Amino acid sequence: MLARLTRPALPLTTATALAGALLALGTPEPAGAAVPDTIPLTVTNNSGRTGPVHLYDLGTQLSTGRQGWADANGTFHAWPAGGNPPTPAPDAAIAGPAAGQSTTIRVPRFSGRIYFSYGQKLVFELTTGGLVQPAVQNPGDPNRDILFNWSEYTLDGSGLWLNSTQVDMFSAPYAVGVRRADGSVSSTGHLRSGGYSGFFEALRGQPGGWAGLIQTRSDGTVLRALSPLYGVETGALPANVMDDYVNRVWQKYATTTLTVTPFADRPGTKYYGRVSGNVMNFTDSSGSVVTGFQKPDADSVFGCHKLLDAPNDAVRGPISRTLCAGFNRSTLLTDPHQPDTSTADFYQDAVTNQYARAIHARTADGKAYAFAFDDVGDQESLVHDGSPQQAYLTLDPLD
């Protein structure tokens, strides 16, 4: 997770991207790749809102590693040097579609984000470390009172990965899509009818402080809900909100073995976890200890970091991803074999990630990126194609 209590510099790859198929960024592009340098992205405004929409395509140019933005034609522009204090970034806004209309732009080979905002342009600044992105968990962030959201994407020689993400916040709803070489279109991210307002109603009705995640403007307009990670970090959500569940997990696996099979395509690769004191140690099939995790707090659970850090390696990272999904979905007590990929088992404990639960319950296909490793068990809202013909971003109603 990049955004923190201060407004950090890019790179523009959040834990969402790291968690899912966007890990492909680290692989070299194949020679003679069929994927073009840019592809069309059609943005359709079904929000029902009047007023201007502003679009931004920001990220890292994969061929050079430079950070910058793309204009409506897909032409890359590198950011100029920033300063300390931060200096205003060039205006990278692209005029978006009016209500009921569509706008098509071209997106280049990037690892980045497509931002969209309603009514006002977003404020971007540059430091000596790069672009400063919005971090609305900070009350002083200049974008705090703007209704906006973003989608994450990677386009490289292996194809397109495009997702809808709620890892940082739940805000203005949208869906993503891709048209394949055979003409078929795949999409994800749409909410059920009434899902937007229903999500906020669910948080308000959930005891334990979950309503504290909701941010409103001074005129009463609901803008977003922070992720529980940021809720804990800002004090909007109690820091002990997951303690009861974590304690029960630690108690159970002091006398029971937790079996983790982190790779769906390698069912023979298993690790075995047992708790000793404050640490859950994992052994491999030979009995050798391969890694261990201290008892995590809510911050570690919701962020899938710190005490549940997941390096991009072959052992600790995959185990941590599985544990993180089990904690957020509260499946660790009901199934000693993880990951549990049956959605009927998710979020059934009274202590769970209520934010993620409320989002998944209101997406049309049940898919979402509500926490960093929501792709465990293929629950993420992601479209991918190796030969993308066109991408889509649909701005949905706030109902």
Give the neighbor-by-neighbor strand order of the sheet with 174-179: 102-108, 38-45, 390-395, 174-179, 185-188
- Identify the bridge partners of residue 116 per DSSP, sorted by sequence position: 55, 149
Domain coverage including residue 193: 15-237+360-395
Query: Six-digit token pair at 27?
Result: 């692989």
Cβ distance 302 to 371 under 8 Å? yes
- 30 part of a folded domain: yes
C-alpha distances (whole Å) from 375 to each of 158, 163, 243 are 19, 11, 24
Q: Render 130-167 in DSSP notation, one character per residue.
A: EEEPP-TTSTT-TTTTSEEEEEEEEEETTEEEEEE--S
- Is there a single domain that holds both residue 151 and residue 259? no
Whether 170 and 318 share a structural domain: no
Q: Does residue 71 sit in the same domain as residue 114? A: yes
**For position 32, which CATH number holds?**
2.60.110.10
Q: What is the CATH number of the domain that holds 280?
A: 3.30.920.50
Inside any domain, residue 4: no
Kindly state whether residues 265 and 344 are assigned to the same domain. yes
pLDDT digits (tens, 9 = 90+) for 94-126: 999 999 999 999 999 999 999 999 999 999 999
pLDDT tens digits, one per residue of 344-366? 999 999 999 999 999 999 999 99
Give yes or no for residue 249 having a pLDDT over 80. yes
Does a structural domain hold residue 34? yes
Indicate whether 22 belongs to any domain: yes
As annotated, the active-site residues are 152, 168
User: In Å, how far are 265, 286, 339, 383 from 343, measured between CA atoms?
Assistant: 20, 32, 11, 20
- pLDDT tens for residues 205-222? 999 999 999 999 999 999
How many domains would you assign to the chain? Answer: 2
Instruction: Identify whether 60 is part of a domain.
Output: yes
What gap in Å lies between CA 375 and CA 21, rounded to an integer? 8
Task: Please state, in angstroms and rounded to a whole number, the distance separating the CA atoms of residues 92 and 205.
Answer: 40
Amino acid identity, position 362: R
Residues 344 and 368 in one domain: no
State how far the alpha carbon of 148 is from the alpha carbons of 53, 86, 170, in Å: 9, 22, 10
pTM of the predicted model as reported, rounded to 2 decimal places: 0.92
Mean pLDDT of 134-151: 96
Kindly state whether residues 186 and 247 are assigned to the same domain.
no
CA distance 245 to 332: 9
Residues 185 and 41 in one domain: yes
